Structure 1
Amino acid sequence: MDTISLTPIGLFLQAGLVGKAVMAALFLASIWCWLLIVEALFGLSRLSRALREAKTGQTSSLLAPIEALGAQEARIHVAGETVSERRQRVADKMTRANVELLTKAEGGLANLAVISSVSPFVGLFGTVWGIMASFVGIAAAKDTSLAVVAPGIAEALAATAYGLAAAIPAAIGYNRLGASFSRLGQALVNRAADQAVEMTRDPVAAARADRTEAEAA
């Protein structure tokens, strides 16, 4: 009886044509998954660093264009517009720019959800095909010994393993990175609202409020 190798390469080489196609597709999906995770981590790191720099008063190359857009919008005066409406308009302008920045930073994060949901079913197809190959082998050999069914069963289980190897990191990466980007998105929205308040403050009223606060202290 030929020895069945349990290594990923050995299982691939011992599989049939359909099994090899399934395993190759899942292997490529796994590589793509890790590339997407690395890309999202890089974008997350850059955006987090930009927010930290902005909180300390440093100029961030990522957020500076958004602040410039907000300042430009704040200089536009609409007849009959209240301060609150003007503030909301500036905040909306900056929020839209922040959403575009966040989308670019996420990269292909949404594709991780596709990989995590599709890969198990592709692996299941390979599993079913391997079991079918086992039954065909039994019928051809007219023998139900383990030596006859083992290659097909090994191919079936290998396809399942390949599917899980692609789906598990994709699911974890999508959920963890998605939650991190969601927190960053909320931080960007809060920052846009705070900056809109600063950009639309009435200089005279602000000076009066500062003077009143100083006298009270």
Structure 2
Amino acid sequence: MSLTFSPWQMFLGAGPVVRCVMTLLAAASVVTWTIFIAKTVELVRLRAQLKKSETALEDADTLHLGEEWTRDGAGIAHAMVLAAEAERRRSEDIPADRDGIKERIVLHLERLEAAEGRRLMRGTGVLATIGATSPFIGLFGTVWGIMSSFTGIAAAHATSLAVVAPGIAEALLATALGLVAAIPAVVIYNHLARQTAACRACVADLTSLVMRLVSRDLARTALAASGNVVRFMAAAE
């Protein structure tokens, strides 16, 4: 057995099972960093878009303007405004039911908000799985490698530590790789969870802004209707 204890030489000298475990852990590490880069880019872009949409809805006076000013982003803010407008149009035949209209719009916006939250968390479950299972997968490779080393000692009828040391070192490398895969996965998962929570808070703010526009438009409609009634009664007199 080779006495060169570089990680690559230990990988090449390991048995097929231990080598398979190491390959699996290396692939898990690559997946972890790929998800980290992809989700980081996605969340940075999304937060910029949410801030832009929040500013647009803050400046808008009506739902129509909110729909027009969020059209470029075509994101969750635009979908919320379209949903609010659609529900208001469906309820035009019952204009007196202002509270019912608001309740139905809130229910629709809550569904959109929940769907956006699920979309933001997509892919992070893999990080949780990697962080939870990688140490045990590495430990399995270590136990298997040590068993193989001691089996080789028994077959060779040798008791020298030099005979078993390379095999044990190769087995322990599996545990090290398990930790290398698990620790970044846990840290990255927690980081992305915090970033996702911040984005979800921004989406909740958008819901409040859309409902403010809805309330404002309904108040204008009610005021216009009452004005028409007053003018009609004055004309009748």
TM range (shorter): 0.7 to 0.9
RMSD between superposed Cα atoms in Å: 2.4
Q: Distance in 1 between matches of 2:88 and 2:215?
A: 6
Is 1:91 aligned to 2:116, yes or no?
no
When normalised by structure 2's length, the TM-score is: 0.77
Is 1:20 aligned to 2:19, yes or no?
yes
Letter in 2 for 1:75: R
CA deviation after TM superposition for structure 1 residue 34, in Å: 1.5
Structure 1: runs of 5+ lacking an equivalent? 208-217
Is 1:140 aligned to 2:139, yes or no?
no
- Aligned equivalent of 2:89, options 75, 80, 83: 75
CA deviation after TM superposition for structure 1 residue 179, in Å: 1.9
1:200 match: secondary structure: helix
Letter in 2 for 1:203: R
Give 1 or 2 for the bigger CA radius of gyration.
2
Does structure 1 conserve the Cα–Cα contact (< 8 Å) formed by 2:117 and 2:200?
yes
Match of 1:214 in 2: none
Letter in 2 for 1:103: R
Q: Distance in 2 between matches of 1:81 and 1:167?
A: 58
Aligned residues: 206
When normalised by structure 1's length, the TM-score is: 0.84
Match of 2:60 in 1: none
Return closer, same or farther for 1:116/1:93 CA change in 2, 3 Å cut-off: same
CA deviation after TM superposition for structure 1 residue 205, in Å: 6.8
Return closer, same or farther for 1:125/1:51 CA change in 2, 3 Å cut-off: same
Q: Distance in 1 between matches of 2:128 and 2:96?
A: 44
Match of 2:130 in 1: 115
Does structure 2 conserve the Cα–Cα contact (< 8 Å) formed by 1:88 and 1:196?
no
Q: Distance in 2 between matches of 1:108 and 1:73?
A: 32
Letter in 2 for 1:122: I
Structure 2: runs of 5+ lacking an equivalent? 57-68, 225-237
Match of 2:74 in 1: 61
2:90 match: secondary structure: coil
Matches within 5 A, 1:31-50: 31-50=30-49
